[in-house]
Amino acid sequence: MDDGTPGGVDGVGDLVTLGRRVRHLRTARGRTLDDLAGAVGSSASRLSLLENGRREPKLSLLTALARELGVPLAELLAPEPPSRRAALEIRLEHAQRSPLYASLGLPAVRPGKRAQLELLEALVGLHDELVRRAHERAATPEQAREANVALRRTMRAQGNFFGEVEDAAAGLLDAVGYAGGPLSERHVDALAAHLGYRFVAVDDLPHSSRSVTDTRHRVIYLRAQDRVAGGPRRRGVALQALGHLVLGHGEPAGYPEFLRQRVEVNCFAAALLVPRREVVRQLQAAKAARDIAVEDVRDAFNVSYETAAHRFTNVATHDLGLPVHFMRVHESGTVSKAYENDGVLFPVDATGAIEGQPVCRHWTARTVFDRPAGVPYHQYTDTPSGTYWCTSSVDPAGDPDPGAPPGRFSVSVGVPFAHVKWFRGRETTERSQSRCPDPTCCRVPPAELADRWAAHARPSARAHSHLLAALPPGTYPGVDDTEVYRFLDAHTPR
Average pLDDT over residues 333-344: 92
Q: Given a cut of 50, is residue 9 above it in pLDDT?
A: no
pLDDT level of residue 433 (50, 70, 90 thresholds): very high
Cα 90 to Cα 94: distance, rounded to the nearest angstrom = 6
Return the pLDDT at 111: 76
Q: Given a cut of 50, is residue 12 above it in pLDDT?
A: no
Return the pLDDT at 380: 98
Tens-digit pLDDT profile for residues 39-96: 999 898 889 888 887 788 888 899 999 898 898 988 888 888 888 888 888 888 888 8
Question: In terms of C-beta density within 10 A (0-12 exposed, 13-18 middle, 19 or more buried), how is residue 331 classed?
Answer: middle
| 198 phi and psi angles, rounded to 5 deg | -140, 155
Q: Given a cut of 70, is residue 471 above it in pLDDT?
A: no
Distances (CA, A) of 276 to 96, 301, 318, 325: 42, 12, 11, 19
Average pLDDT over residues 347-354: 83
Q: Which of 199, 223, 198 is nearest to 209 (CA)?
A: 223
Q: For the beta carbon of residue 202, count every other beta carbon within 10 angstroms.
A: 15
Q: Given a cut of 80, is residue 133 above it in pLDDT?
A: no
Return the pLDDT at 400: 47
Tens-digit pLDDT profile for residues 84-106: 888 888 888 888 888 888 888 88
Return the pLDDT at 455: 80
Average pLDDT over residues 128-154: 73
Q: Which of 186, 387, 443, 423 is nearest to 290 (CA)?
A: 423
Cα 186 to Cα 170: distance, rounded to the nearest angstrom = 17
Question: In terms of C-beta density within 10 A (0-12 exposed, 13-18 middle, 19 or more buried), how is residue 359 classed?
Answer: buried
Classify residue 301 as left (phi > 0), alpha (psi -120 to 50) or beta: alpha
Tens-digit pLDDT profile for residues 359-384: 999 999 999 999 887 789 999 999 99
pLDDT level of residue 473 (50, 70, 90 thresholds): very low
Return the pLDDT at 258: 85
Q: Which of 5, 95, 135 is nearest to 59 (CA)?
A: 5
Residue type, 95: A
pTM of the model: 0.70
Mean pLDDT estimate for the chain: 84
Q: Which of 298, 307, 311, 187 is nearest to 236 (CA)?
A: 307
